Amino acid sequence: MTTRIDPAARVRWGDPRWRYGIGLVTIVLGAAATNLTSTYSLWFLAIGPAVQLLGWLILPGPLWRRLLVLLPCLVAALVLVAGPDFAGAFAVLLAGWLFARHRPVLSYLALLPVIVLSFVLKDLLNEYGQNWVALLSGALTTVACAWLAWALMLWRRRTLDARRARRWLRRAGPARSAGPDSPDSPNSPNSPKDPEDPEDPEVAQAPQVPEMRPAPDAPRSRAVFGQSPVPPPAEAQPALRGDARPVNPE
């Protein structure tokens, strides 16, 4: 009825995804085999319900839900053999699928197109030879409505999540928002400062220590291994205080 594999909970045996796929295919094959029953092929009347029963048992989910929809779905597949007048049995099959898959109440709105189609087919198709038209159109509509039910469930889930998020934000209040006094805010006085930030008032008011550089005219003394450093020339020596003059050696 739908090929969407929902994440299932833990099951007692087997893989839930494999059980989902095999169970779905087995249910569809059982319902199709039941409708192949005719005067010359009555043995499908025994094989179809048995295969469909096996599919409902393989399908993952709560056992009581599957057992509760088992008998109505088996009867609905048998009723479809009677002709286009009983096309409303597709609604029973879809309702059983939604109940077994634990869909919310909103998803059951997808039953309305199937019910409307059953009345349309009853008015348009009047011969038993046209039953294949009713089976084909009913099966396609049921698959589409199963997808519609899944979309309604997904929309409801997202709406509830958004409502819970808004409720949590209202309860949290403005205290959780990153305001100017929040420790996480960059403008907070408790936030760590960057030591190289020029806009920091503490860094801007710090005294600037001048860089010590040597005089351009003062020659640098070079020390050679094993020799004393060369003294600077007389011109580089500072002048003596007062009127003292250097003694002339002559």
Run of H or E including 231: none
Domain ranges of the chain: 16-171
Q: Output DSSP code: residue 205.
A: T
Cβ-proximal residues to 164 (8 Å cutoff; 6+ apart), any chain: none
Tell me the CB-side half-sphere exposure of residue 45, using CA atoms within 13 A: 11
Among residues 121, 216, 106, the alpha carbon closest in space to that of 152 is found at 106
The dihedral built from the CA positions of residue 118, 122, 128 and 133, taken in this order, carries a sign that is negative
Integer Cα distance of 158 and 152 in angstroms: 10
Task: For 113-125, give the DSSP string.
Answer: HHHHHHHHHHHH-
pLDDT digits (tens, 9 = 90+) for 77-122: 999 988 888 888 999 999 999 999 999 999 999 999 999 999 998 8
Q: What is the pTM of this model?
A: 0.63
pLDDT digits (tens, 9 = 90+) for 127-165: 777 888 889 999 999 999 999 999 999 999 999 888 888
Instruction: Supply 68's token pair.
Output: 């509760």
How wide is the angle at C-alpha 106 spanned by C-alphas 63 and 97, nearest 5°? 35
Q: For position 49, what pLDDT does the model report?
A: 92
